[in-house]
Amino acid sequence: MAAILCAALIVSLFEAPEFDDDPDVAVDQPETDDLYEDVIITPPGLGKLTTSIVDMHGQFVGIRCSTCHGAGDIGDPPAQYADELTEFHREMEFSHGDLACASCHATDDRDKLTLASGALLDYDDTMDLCAQCHSSEYKSYQHGAHGGMSGHWDRTQGERVRNHCVVCHDPHEPAFPQVTPADPPRDRFFGTQ
Amino acid sequence: MTDPTDDTTTVEANDGGIDRRTAMKALGATLGAAAFARAMAPLRSWSADQSMDEFLQQHYKRLSDEDMERILRRLEQETYDEYGAQVHIDDPQPIPGVQFGYALNLSVCNGCRKCVEACHIENNHDRSTNNSYIRVFEMEQGSMDFEKGTADYDHTVPAPGKYYMPVQCLQCDNPPCVDVCPVEATWKEEDGVVVDYNWCIGCRYCQAACPYHARRFNWKKPEIPTGEVNPVQAYLANRIRPAGVVEKCHFCLHKTRKGGAPACQQACPTGARVFGNMLDPDSDIRWVLENKRVYVLKEDLGTRPRFFYFFD
């Protein structure tokens, strides 16, 4: 991104417009209570091992990590990195810096995640795990500048629907995948149509 | 029905002020006969297939509520007759105290054109041309000049060394397109720039004036299969436009004036788009303007766009 940033000097830096927050003009801000809550879309069965068995709702059944792991490691010796896995979880692609499994998965309670401080984290709080190492994206996310939204911009009229980080980024291979683009309009190039 | 370009016609299209007939005559004088004939082509065919009611329609700003009500029902009927689709057309007004702003994170956009596609469907564009109000430019890293980008790339994205810049109407605060319109068929409302497709004479001055190539000319009657017509429509927004008029992105005002997200934002899988009320100090768009380095295209032209670009 650095290259782009330098290039951006070609266009001059835009001054954020001055806003006039004169109460006569500004909208009456509704009480916070009146605002619709954000809805965060989270994949089902976060932190469970996905199996190929399908339940009555058409979802893949997930099993708790502790089903096999008991309290902790079972590999012999326990794998630290993906390339040390010889018997299980082999289908897993891993490409997330050079993190060890234990950077995120608590070693003595396989149903929990762990922060660098050693504090345990439920899978429901996975976003706090990401935030620990990616504070700037997390901050942007909290203000809608990363991660996007759908639904309503006006939360007095409806909720804002947002994706959890792991909807877009697989925790083990977080790079956003390449895609085939949709077709462009078939117009004559540049404004002639 | 009389030829609208004929001096002897007794039809008065409106009651003074913005007079389409006078403007058409003035156009004739400045353009020369051949250009005039071309510019007026949609207008001449218009007497043949359009109603007296439509010809007599007042300028949008002078329509009474009852007039508008009647026009909306007529347009719904016409859509049903021509497309077989039952649609609802309304005319939502700007929300007091709301000024729309849009920002796009260029570090995150991957050029997938989902926004282009969503716009195509939402705005009832012609299927045969795959028209859309958004073009995505594939840009060399290091350049910010979208005129040097390519809009018709068709390989897997993002490609190495490239980044992607979607461009649509920037809803300028100081819009050159509005200034050049000879009949005031396009104007600025509090929250953005709109076009009255029934008032537009198709002269395309606005298209030439827009430095961002944001306006499109509707060459032919849009083809849309009945089942694909988006029935939620508004007069100044996504209703099916007649041939021969200029159209452009209106920030999906049929949705956004009711608090909803514009279709392009709704569809963006990368989360690159931030939309909201610039007058609300707690809005996402305000946070971006105040906390990111934001850029506008061709700032030196003084158009003051309300569409901003930023990098992480």
Task: Scan residues 118-147 of B and list those with Cβ closer than 8 Å to A.
Answer: 120, 128-132, 135-136, 141-145, 147
B36-62 mean pLDDT: 58
Which residue, chain included where needed, has tokens 């404004």?
Answer: A191
Domain annotation covers residue A4: no
Question: Which residues from A are below 8 Å from B289, CB to CB?
Answer: 16-17
Are the beta carbons of A184 and B217 separated by less than 8 Å?
A: no
B28-45 mean pLDDT: 50
Specify the higher pLDDT residue, B222 or B43. Answer: B222
Question: Which residues from B are below 8 Å from A16, CB to CB?
Answer: 289-290, 294
* B126 in Cβ contact with B224 (< 8 Å): yes
Q: Whole domain around residue A157: which residue ranges?
A: 33-66+95-176
Q: In whole angstroms, what is the distance from residue B283 CA to residue B145 CA?
A: 29
Domain annotation covers residue A188: no
Where residue A12 falls among pLDDT bands split at 50, 70, 90?
Answer: very low
Residues forming beta bridges with residue B102, ordered by sequence position: B275, B307
Question: Which residues from B are below 8 Å from A12, CB to CB?
Answer: 299-300
Nearest neighbour of B271 by CB, restricted to A13, A16, A146: A146
> Structural domain boundaries of chain B?
1-312
Instruction: Show the tokens assigned to B157.
Output: 């994205």
Share of chain B above pLDDT 90, in %: 75
Q: B204: how many CB neighbours lie within 10 A of its CB?
A: 18
Question: Which residues from B are below 8 Å from A154, CB to CB?
Answer: 95, 259-260, 277
Measured in angstroms, the CA of B10 and the nearest CA of chain A are apart by 35
Domain annotation covers residue A42: yes
The count of domains in chain A is 1
A52-71 mean pLDDT: 83
- pLDDT, tens digit (0-9, with 9 covering 90-100), for B248-301: 999 999 999 999 999 999 999 999 999 999 999 999 999 999 999 999 999 999
Give how far Cα B102 sits from Cα of A104, A180, B154, B168, Å: 36, 26, 27, 11
Are the beta carbons of A185 and B207 separated by less than 8 Å?
A: no
Is any Cβ of chain A less than 8 angstroms from the Cβ of B207?
yes
B17-29 mean pLDDT: 54
A75-95 mean pLDDT: 85
Instruction: Show the tokens assigned to A44.
Output: 């089902």
* B138 in Cβ contact with A176 (< 8 Å): no
Is any Cβ of chain A less than 8 angstroms from the Cβ of B280?
yes
Q: What 3-state class would DSSP assign to A73?
A: coil
Provide the pLDDT for residue A136: 96
Task: Scan residues 231-250 of B and list those with Cβ closer than 8 Å to A.
Answer: none
**Most confident by average pLDDT, A14-28, A53-67, B3-17, B162-176:** B162-176
Residues forming beta bridges with residue A179, ordered by sequence position: B157
Are the beta carbons of B114 and A7 separated by less than 8 Å?
A: no
- pLDDT, tens digit (0-9, with 9 covering 90-100), for B81-131: 999 999 999 999 999 999 999 999 999 999 999 999 999 999 999 999 999
Measured in angstroms, the CA of A181 and the nearest CA of chain B are apart by 4
Where residue B147 falls among pLDDT bands split at 50, 70, 90?
Answer: confident
Question: Which residues from B are below 8 Å from A151, CB to CB?
Answer: 260-261, 266
Are the beta carbons of A146 and B311 separated by less than 8 Å?
A: no
Give how far Cα A148 sits from Cα of A22, B133, B144, B266, B301, Å: 29, 20, 23, 9, 30
Domain annotation covers residue A113: yes
Nearest neighbour of B259 by CB, restricted to A29, A147, A153: A153
Question: Which residues from B are below 8 Å from A30, CB to CB?
Answer: none
Instruction: Show the tokens assigned to B213.
Output: 């190539």
Question: Which residues from B are below 8 Å from A10, CB to CB?
Answer: 143-145
Give the torsion through C-alpha atoms of B197, B199, B205, B208, to 10 deg.
Answer: -10
Mean per-residue pLDDT of chain B: 86
DSSP percent split of chain B into helix, strand, coil, nearest 5: 30, 15, 50
* B245 in Cβ contact with B50 (< 8 Å): no
Domain annotation covers residue A123: yes
Are the beta carbons of A148 and B294 separated by less than 8 Å?
A: no
B180-189 mean pLDDT: 94
Helix axes A126-133, A135-142, angle to 10 degrees: 120
Amino acid at B159: A
CATH class of B1-312: alpha beta
A10-18 mean pLDDT: 43
Task: Scan residues 75-104 of B and list those with Cβ closer than 8 Å to A.
Answer: 95-98, 103
Amino acid at A40: I
Is any Cβ of chain A less than 8 angstroms from the Cβ of B311?
yes
- pLDDT, tens digit (0-9, with 9 covering 90-100), for B219-230: 889 999 999 999
Instruction: Show the tokens assigned to B133.
Output: 């109000």
Measured in angstroms, the CA of B77 and the nearest CA of chain A are apart by 28
Are the beta carbons of B277 and A153 separated by less than 8 Å?
A: yes
Provide the pLDDT for residue B145: 87
Are the beta carbons of B258 and A5 separated by less than 8 Å?
A: no
DSSP state, B16? Answer: S
Alpha helices in B246-307 (DSSP H): 253-256, 263-267, 284-291
Backbone dihedral region of A57: left (phi > 0), alpha (psi from -120 to 50 degrees) or beta? alpha
Give how far Cα A35 sits from Cα of A158, A163, B31, B44, B96, Å: 8, 19, 55, 52, 18
- Measuring CA to CA, which residue among B157, B216, B206 is closest to residue B184? B206
Is any Cβ of chain A less than 8 angstroms from the Cβ of B169?
no
Query: Best residue in A15, A18, A39, A154 to probe B by mutation, most B CBs within 10 Å?
Result: A154
- The number of C-beta contacts closer than 8 angstroms across A and B is 202
Task: Look up the pTM and report it.
Answer: 0.87
Where residue A76 falls among pLDDT bands split at 50, 70, 90?
Answer: confident
Are the beta carbons of A157 and B258 separated by less than 8 Å?
A: yes
CA angle B215, B304, A13 (to 5 degrees): 120
Residue B13: HSE in the Cβ half-sphere, 13 Å Cα cutoff: 21
